[in-house]
Structure 1
């Protein structure tokens, strides 16, 4: 079936609420005069001079003008416009820039980016989408921060507006002028890998990323990075006077607004992530970010290769072999076989669905009879990075030109088989929404295999998370044992018939009793130890009154030892088995 290009049908009248306007004002994004303009009656973008098209959900995820050179370079290398990227893809870039500047102490590095990320289409074999038609994916073989993106970003395509383009002296055109008719063409650069030389140059950075992820007690997470750049009120995707490792606090020249309240910050973090009201929002990071008060080490290298930029805003014209109409992924907002506009129905979920950056890919299969209440954006999934069949020449072949790689489509090679991106999810609660079948005709086996792989994916993710949890608990329950290297052996340690928690509490009780006896002995008082050890005849009420009388002294002793006890009352008798 030929791919249908919806063209202007994707766009409809912008629907920005007063709540959205208030949020942009609170974030300082609309602080400058004429920084934003909101569409009136137009159902298709017609930005005024010096304005570009953006979305509310892009702006609250770190985008501002003038645009950062790194993002501009990505758009150039990938042949994209801003409206081609999904909100979660924008957040991926914001997190990466914050990671580089605040925690690695380097400018955002193009070679490092290629080691971690690639691009994929967010469409289908029957419909080609432009709004949110491309997603940024973590490569499947890379260990990266578990960015807990929301299951869906409802209605984001309908919240479009105009942002004033500001020139900051380094380039003439930061953002390419809006062209809603420009088709998305898959390019070699979408899959470009770092050369051997680039891998060697960035190996220390990759090692540091792994340390930030895995240092016990100081683990850094994607949510922490997100909360950090929102908390300091600096937009990562904005061209700034200073990099984030020079952040100067309340008086920093790049801040857009005053600090958000704790409540407002928590709401915003939950809005752009999968955290719910029961989940705590981090108020600090596991490791102290670089800033004016935590300067970079001496002789710390900060230079980095940015993606190639067009000179003077002009891109050298090069031939596109074929348009990429194969639709390598399922659209975010359409049910199978639909021809409607992505924004034509509130029932069509304009979603970026994923709960983890670590979801393996699922099998592709016919979806003509499948019901989908919400479609999936795989930009957050490493599994979304199914390898294209074309290959990039290795470092020994210097014939590869980055400009050619960016501007030449892979249409001169074998076409990739269509990949249904929406089949990828690691959240079990969404499985029944995503894969409920309605009288499948002739594809029972494929549907069964798809479901099997989805559940297999969930099982693998669950085992991985279980291993992490048990590994963290192991040293508390088994202080004198060495942690097993094999997960099965590790799990068996926790499946014993004994109550491990009771053993831990009893051990703590033993230490407490011995400490009490030591303190009494240190007081040099005459004590009848036989009577002290006979506590079975003490009535509950008397026990409680004695505990209450002991608390003032116990608090002083614990404070001396440097321990602040929990406020829970200790009125029960010692736990014995």
Structure 2
């Protein structure tokens, strides 16, 4: 990616910015704006151009005003090359001309006030906002109070709709982020002496607007005015601002802003702080439909304002000559020419000669051709095609400054001369005084003049061919750029499809994960209920997480701890009982094996009691033997014939001493000693 492309990143237009554009009425027209989606580099659709939110709130809107089109064409710029403060400079200038001077935006006046400079240091070459419009140092102009820096404006880019026109001069250049900004001589173009003389009255009026005590006009007042009337100065409009008709004006984009919103917007685009007062109205009443233009400026006075140019989209049409040799009935030099029906001022045409990148048209000699004939007259109709030699002009009237691309002066037409005939009997070598010789001399002189003129036309034609070749080359480059754009669009479409597939796959994965979590949660809750049923004890979490899955897992951990503690206690008990039940076996280490020993089909209780009785009998025999009594142990062991009653009586007689004997043997007496005969074996 080129270095200049690094300035672009994904557009970050907030909902607050969108609401502001809606409130200003800029996005009211359908498809007038398009907001980028996910792209990090502009790829505008066909007939859309790249602009910025901060451009729109400073007076820009589509379709774009002809004067701005002219500036971009002459200076060789694209919209994204201009900073927000430069856009506001142009808006204020157009508002000043139309509302307070009563004239169309004037290229000659513009050159007297402004010039262009690069934005940034020599080591930094901006592509976005790389050019700024500056007031000439020697010109006294309105203090607009621009902010030192407009934060983040480069990140808020969008697309505005701009239809292509037939003429290259009128078209806004298609977006090309790789095109470098090249300095032109037109950036420093200065007004000529004739243009200064023609605009001197306008400069005087500007100084009066600035310096009239009690009626001073400021740049902030002009800005507040076009924001308050809701007309975008940089939009192509049906009527100029001096015909503004109030709330019913056809060029208004929205209803009036509230005082709070208007002050907030003015502070946003200027350096006014919250402590500064925002002007609610202008000290100078602007021209409008109710405040008509004064008689002195309703038309263009000869020698005061430059003449108007003709749109290059239409063929040149004949205009009645306002000065010099003209048809009968032309107005005198001091008469005001009415504005009705005159052609709209075209800034391209007055700019091209001074642009510096284009070769200047060859100077036209205003003097009459060298000819002895007096039959040259002004043509009734202007022929189409290249410019021809101009007609003679009346030197009694001041000559206005010619627009560089205004219609060519009318070609002189030669009336057909009658074919001369030799008088009968004349000499074959006529003298110079002979009428026929004079006629030949006149025709020869005229031929020489037209021969020179034909050479100039050939030079102009060669220059036109060069420009046509250059335009063809640009057209080829545009077509390549269009193909590249289409390829990029296909790539973007493929990326969007892949993104959609990825989003679908992610959604399916999330659904599967959610189902799995639900299944795990169900199993955890089931295990928890089993523990509660077996232990007959339920638990409540002290610090629940608020997540069902985590809480169920925590509860299961509590039950697990309880089960582990129970197993530990059971192993201790079984280990203690093992020697009594299984005296001849070795105790297993594993709990499960230990538990299996006690899980017998037989009842281990009687075996334990029998073992205890055996120990007791052996102890009793030992005590009897120790008492040195003679006992027939053969008869004692034969208890088959002993009656139950006798056995019970003997047991009853032995009870008083049984506790002592058991205590001696280390056993505690049972709470209910058995008298069953079957226990004695």
Q: TM-score range by the shorter chain?
A: 0.5 to 0.7
1:280 corresponds to which residue? 277
2:214 is aligned to 217
Q: Aligned-pair distance for 1:312?
A: 5.4
Candidates 35, 43, 46, aligned match of 1:46:
43
Q: Per-residue deviation at 1:130?
A: 1.1
Matching residue within 176, 181, 185 for 2:178: 181
- For the 8 Å contact 1:70–1:307, the answer to whether it is kept is no
Alignment equivalent of 1:67, drawn from 61, 64, 75: 64
Aligned partner of 1:123 in structure 2 is: 120
Change over 3 Å in CA distance of 1:301–1:43 after alignment to 2: same
**2:69 and 2:169 in contact (8 A); partners too:** no
Task: Determine whether 1:87 maps to 2:84.
Answer: yes
Trace 1:27-38 onto structure 2 (pairs within 5 A). 27-38=24-35
Partner Cα separation in structure 1 for residue 76 and residue 168 of structure 2? 18
2:54 corresponds, among 52, 57, 63, to 57
Partner of 1:77: 74
Query: Closer, same or farther in 2 for the Cα pair 1:296/1:159, shift >3 Å?
Result: same
**1:229 counterpart (218, 226, 238):** 226
Match of 1:266 among 263, 267, 270: 263
The answer to whether 1:135 aligns with 2:132 is yes
Number of the residue aligned with 2:146:
149
Match of 2:22 in 1: 25
Residue equivalent to 1:349: none
SS across alignment from 1:153? coil
What is the DSSP-based 3-state SS (H/G/I as helix, E as strand, rest coil) of the residue aligned with 1:163?
Answer: strand
Change (3 A) 1:309 1:47: farther
2:210/2:218 contact within 8 Å kept: yes
d(CA) in 2 for partners of 1:307, 1:93: 20
Could you tell me how far 1:112 is from its partner in structure 2? 0.3
**1:245 match:** 242
Residue 669 of structure 2 is matched in structure 1 by none
Deviation at 1:300, TM superposition (A): 2.1
SS in 2 for 1:15: coil
| Contact in 2 for aligned 1:73/1:306 (Cα 8 Å) | no
Q: CA distance change for structure 1 residues 254 and 190 in 2, over 3 Å: closer, same or farther?
A: same
**Whole-Å separation in 1 of the counterparts to 2:165 and 2:122:** 41
Deviation at 1:182, TM superposition (A): 1.1
Shift of 1:234: 0.2
Quick one: distance in 2 between partners of 1:248 and 1:171?
A: 33
Q: Secondary structure at the residue paired with 2:207? A: helix
Tell me the distance in 1 between the aligned counterparts of 2:146 and 2:93.
15
Output one character per residue of 1:31-57: Cα deviation in whole Å (capped at 9) or x when no partner. 011111100110110001121110000
Instruction: List alignment gaps of at least 5 residues for structure 1.
Output: 314-389, 409-577
Q: Larger deviation: 292-301 or 133-142?
A: 292-301
Match of 1:204 among 194, 198, 201: 201
> By how many angstroms is 1:278 displaced?
1.1
Distance 1:266 1:202 in 2: 34
The one-character-per-residue Cα deviations of 1:191-222 (angstroms, maximum 9, x if unpaired) are 00000000000000000000000000000000
* Count of aligned pairs between the two proteins: 327
Cα distance 1:261–1:205, how it changes in 2: closer, same or farther (>3 A)?
Answer: same
- Kept in 2, the 8 Å contact 1:266–1:281? The answer is yes
* RMSD of Structure 2 on Structure 1 (CA): 3.4
Match of 1:160 in 2: 157
Paired residues for 1:326-405 under 5 Å: none
Query: For 1:92, what is the secondary structure of its paired residue?
Result: helix
State the match for 1:106 in structure 2: 103
Cα separation, partners in 2 of 1:39 and 1:308, compared to 1, 3 Å? farther
After TM superposition, the score normalised by the length of structure 2 is 0.45
For the 8 Å contact 1:77–1:307, the answer to whether it is kept is no
Aligned positions of 1:342-491 closer than 5 A: none
Question: How big is each residue's C-alpha offset from its partner over 1:272-327, in whole Å with a ceiling of 9 and x where there is no partner?
Answer: 001111111111101000001101012524557699899559xxxxxxxxxxxxxx
Aligned counterparts of 1:292 and 1:256: Cα–Cα separation in 2? 18
Q: Secondary structure at the match of 1:162?
A: strand
Decide whether aligned partners of structure 1 residues 58 and 140 sit closer, same or farther in structure 2, where only a CA change above 3 A counts. same
